[in-house]
Amino acid sequence: MKKPKYQLIIDFIKEKIAKGEWAIGSPIPSQRNLAKQFEVNRSTVITALEELMAEGLLEGKAGKETVVTNNTWTLMGAKYSTNWNENVTLGIHKPSVSMVQEINQAESDTNLIQLSKGELSPEMFPLEEMKFIVQKISNQLTSFGYEEPKGNLKLRQAISDYLKVRGIEASPSSILVVSGALQALHLISIGLLKRGSTVLLEMPSYLYSLTVFESAGMELQGLAMDKEGLIIDSIYLTKEKGKNILYTIPTFHNPTGALMQEKRREKLIAYCEREQLPVIEDDVYHDLWIDNPPPKPLKAMDLYGNVLYVGSLSKTLSPGLRIGWIVGSESVINRLADLKMQSDYGSSTLSQLVAAEWLSSNFYDSHLDKVREQLRVRRKVALDALDKYLSPYATWDIPKGGLFIWVKIKPEFKVKRLFEKAFSNNILLNPGSIYAEKTGQFIRISYGYASLDEIKVGIFKLSEIIKIK
Amino acid sequence: MKKPKYQLIIDFIKEKIAKGEWAIGSPIPSQRNLAKQFEVNRSTVITALEELMAEGLLEGKAGKETVVTNNTWTLMGAKYSTNWNENVTLGIHKPSVSMVQEINQAESDTNLIQLSKGELSPEMFPLEEMKFIVQKISNQLTSFGYEEPKGNLKLRQAISDYLKVRGIEASPSSILVVSGALQALHLISIGLLKRGSTVLLEMPSYLYSLTVFESAGMELQGLAMDKEGLIIDSIYLTKEKGKNILYTIPTFHNPTGALMQEKRREKLIAYCEREQLPVIEDDVYHDLWIDNPPPKPLKAMDLYGNVLYVGSLSKTLSPGLRIGWIVGSESVINRLADLKMQSDYGSSTLSQLVAAEWLSSNFYDSHLDKVREQLRVRRKVALDALDKYLSPYATWDIPKGGLFIWVKIKPEFKVKRLFEKAFSNNILLNPGSIYAEKTGQFIRISYGYASLDEIKVGIFKLSEIIKIK
Ligand SMILES: Cc1ncc(COP(=O)(O)O)c(C=O)c1O
Ligand SMILES: Cc1ncc(COP(=O)(O)O)c(C=O)c1O
């Protein structure tokens, strides 16, 4: 039984689309060419195309070319928007999409001076200790099956002890082990927040948190900031109770480096209790203080289980471990644990055992001492270079910890041009425009990743670029 | 400034609720007792309670006690239903909630004979090889940062090679590394499926898949099965295109052990192509064949990128590694990779490196040989015991691989009673009722986990229980 000609054309086109060779949005060959290729009349081609249009795979407008609109999977139509390309409606900003993508890709380019990356330099990776610990773990290995819903008990106990030193009393049963702080935000968004709820957050804020909240159908409302972080008076709650939540990074804020002092923390906690405004406290930079330990976390002042506290080993030890935690009242943690099981059935046992060993040995604290020492040097090099080269063109505050200096370029200089020229000179940085329109005159410079020389040279070159306008 | 008395009562109650000491649904102390405790009039107590009711934390019905209804977090009202306790409306069944919970908890009880667990026994865990590989990895360690969106390239290459042997041609760029097959289903549900879509799936099917699909707002439609798995003629598509998806476990199905033969696979693929019905093929038991290798996966016959293929190392090597994969056409994989980044920023580097080493060395294949040998013995012991003790009371088919025997108890015996008596005799099994109402006369017996003696004794005891009715 031979297939009719038009069916051959349909099959051919479907295969091209399904295999991704013809991408969505791209035009297909002209009717004339298809007719030639299949040795048929144009009318046969038209029959095939009409069928494909009816199926929603192609779209042809009068006088325009016919384009691919769909494949079987996109036909399903995701509800979770995963696409940086879509211009999702944002309460607070439209991400400068192509720039974010460009930066993401460029971050794995080892030829660039990375003033963008928010991680510790490989120089600071405690390779010998990590090898030692992984080997120790390998000697103690037993068969590993599925883990308990809240995570390995030894690790939760180690996290509990770690938190006690930082002023937070949390039993292992009120701790959930997660695969990094980002997963914490993801689980909270899909598990605890109602679609259409409003997330109040610092403007600017951690870039990926925006995507996570939005993807889960939240509205975002930006809060004004000063040197101490979010300004409480800028919180404005309209909707009925239970429809707002605050997401905040009070300690060494990403991207501004702001640190909220104790007084404001107390006021904020009192406000949130009064207004029954639940809080997600993202504290991943806590241990990266340089001058003095930061004030206690909000969670340490939280009497009513109003705060969900999020931490991680990514910024201090290794992002590749993918180990973080959520601390909250037990009923909420139980719920999130349920959801964690549904989403990935627990984090890697190997990573959990390695993390437990790090936290419960002295290795972690002595590693942190070294990291702080190096960050102090790195910050100094960056600040000296800024003073020397950029002071005519920009202003900045001295961060008391974390990885970032938030530099305000004077209004007469175009940041977009600076970013692009820097990029073509092999220097990568985060322009403020990717965070919010309002912060378009800022750039975020990380002193955590590039080498000391690169930091110096990078900042010098930035000044050269600005200078020649 | 002293707080008014009623405020003290409010604070006291809020704290009790927030800390979870007073659970949702539980009654609070009587007005009289509260008045006594705080040395105030009843009217003061009533003022406090009214305020709390207005805030939605308490509920009091006339003539009934006042109960806790909420805390700040539950007030947010999850959209993602995470609760086995909720009687979610199901297209195909209401899960026998308390039983599933009971089984889950009992699965970590080492005093029980585990005829329930769907994992390999620790006896089969390749401890020495695992130690060797972890140590090898530790020697090769470099600092590990965030991974590429689709996962470690070495691992993806190893998966690509592994799949080739099984008939699937997939380049590393069309493979996404995930934290186990369950995460694959979670990402697909929240990333590709529209709320209110219908997932067609075998009835019965893998229990957690139901929860994942439902939590993401899908409707479920059960498909009839025979010894070869789903019956194609029972697929019934009502809604418009792009609103249906098929989830199937064609190879050593959980819980029935069914194996779909090549002919039906071909018919199924042709049907799905014709109807533009996308398919999720869950193939986690593929390598656990005992008699002969199973037919090629559906994915191997898929010309149009219609099939998303899901695999994992959990059933063959170790669930604790949390390493699985999704294979699909590149555009879909890109989208899922984006979502994976949003949900946990990639899987553990350690686990990925270990998995890559397993797959790319000869260790994995020789491990599988041993596992198959042991499963053959285990299956024989289980079948012999069934023949010897249970044949008057039940019937079953011989599984050609996987971990389960699906035993049909004759209608004159109550399965609920069997489950309960077995449990009180320290034997755990999965009654068919937790999967679907229709399968209430079945039990699922795993020959993968318990020791040979336990399997024999367990099945013998089941016969004793049935016998004395
Ligand atoms: C504020 C903040 N939270 C969370 C994360 C993500 O951390 P993790 O790697 O633990 O998911 C980052 C990383 O950039 C961050 O800056
Ligand atoms: C059919 C099926 N798919 C997926 C899974 C989950 O596997 P993983 O541990 O890789 O998430 C299971 C485990 O029971 C299963 O039976």
Query: Looking at the structure, do residues A114 and A217 belong to the same domain, yes or no?
Result: no
Domain of B111?
98-123+366-467
Query: Looking at the structure, do residues A256 and A304 belong to the same domain, yes or no?
Result: yes
Q: Do A329 and B20 touch (CB under 8 A)?
A: yes
Conformation bin of residue A319: beta by default, left when phi > 0, alpha when psi is -120 to 50: alpha
Write the residue with the smallest CA distance to atom 7 of ligand 2: B181
Distances (CA, A) of A458 to A257, A382, A398, A427, A455: 20, 10, 18, 6, 5
Q: Do B18 and A108 touch (CB under 8 A)?
A: no
pTM greater than the 0.90 cutoff? no
Residue A331 has what pLDDT? 81
Least confident of A144-148, A299-303, A424-428, B395-399: A144-148
CB pairs under 8 A between A and B: 321
Query: Looking at the structure, do residues A356 and A398 belong to the same domain, yes or no?
Result: no
* Contact yes or no for A347/A337 (Cβ under 8 A): no
- What's the CATH number where A55 sits? 1.10.10.10
Confidence of residue A105 (pLDDT cuts 50, 70, 90): confident
Residue B45, C-beta contacts closer than 8 angstroms, at least 6 positions apart: B6, B9, B31, B34, B35, B38
Query: Looking at the structure, do residues B381 and B349 belong to the same domain, yes or no?
Result: no
Query: Looking at the structure, do residues A388 and A343 belong to the same domain, yes or no?
Result: no
* Whether the CB of B458 sits within 6 Å of ligand 2: no
Distances (CA, A) of A432 to A1, A209, A407, A426, B143: 63, 16, 9, 19, 29
Q: Is the link from the previous residue into A204 a cis peptide, with omega within 30 of 0?
A: yes
The pLDDT tens digits of the residues spanning A343-370 come to 899 999 999 999 999 999 999 999 999 9
Mean pLDDT of A267-290: 94
Residue A21, number of CB atoms within 10 A of its CB: 11
Of A361, A395, A427, the residue that ends a domain is A361
Interface residue of B8, B329, B343, B451 to substitute, partner A, most A CBs within 10 Å: B343
Report the domain count for chain B.
3
Query: Looking at the structure, do residues A76 and A113 belong to the same domain, yes or no?
Result: no
Asked whether residue B410 is domain-assigned, the answer is: yes
Residue A294 has what pLDDT? 98
Q: Which of A74-78, A81-85, A171-175, B96-100 has the highest mean predicted lDDT (pLDDT)?
A: A171-175
Query: Looking at the structure, do residues B241 and B348 belong to the same domain, yes or no?
Result: yes
| CA A283 – ligand 1 centroid, Å | 9
Here the ipTM equals 0.83
Query: Looking at the structure, do residues A199 and A153 belong to the same domain, yes or no?
Result: yes
Q: Which of A340, A345, A349 best tests ligand 2's pocket when mutated (most atoms within 8 Å of CB)? A: A345
Confidence of residue A140 (pLDDT cuts 50, 70, 90): very high
Residue A344 has what pLDDT? 93
Residue scoring higher pLDDT (B435 or A217): B435
What are B72's two structure tokens?
Answer: 């700040």
List of chain A residues whose C-beta atoms are within 8 Å of the C-beta of residue B127: 141-143
Query: Looking at the structure, do residues A296 and A197 belong to the same domain, yes or no?
Result: yes
Asked whether residue A303 is domain-assigned, the answer is: yes
Residue ranges of the alpha helices (H) in B81-142?
97-106, 127-140
* Whether the CB of B319 sits within 6 Å of ligand 2: yes
- Residue B319 CA, closest ligand 2 atom number: 9
- Residue A324 CA, closest ligand 1 atom number: 10
Dihedrals φ, ψ of B296, to 5°?
Answer: -60, 150
Query: Looking at the structure, do residues B221 and B314 belong to the same domain, yes or no?
Result: yes
- What's the CATH number where B333 sits? 3.40.640.10
The pLDDT tens digits of the residues spanning A411-465 come to 999 999 999 999 999 999 999 999 988 999 999 999 999 999 999 999 999 999 9
The pLDDT tens digits of the residues spanning A357-411 come to 999 999 999 999 999 999 999 999 999 999 999 999 999 999 999 999 999 999 9
Residue B97 has what pLDDT? 59
Distance CA A26, CA A29 (A): 10
Query: Looking at the structure, do residues B145 and B83 belong to the same domain, yes or no?
Result: no
Q: Do B322 and A278 touch (CB under 8 A)?
A: no
How close does chain B come to A73, measured CA to CA in Å? 7
Query: Looking at the structure, do residues B146 and B292 belong to the same domain, yes or no?
Result: yes
Q: Which of A77, A80, A339 sits opposite B82 (nearest CB)?
A: A339
Distance CA B272, CA B268 (A): 6
Q: Which of A178, A185, A189, A315 best tests ligand 1's pocket when mutated (most atoms within 8 Å of CB)? A: A315
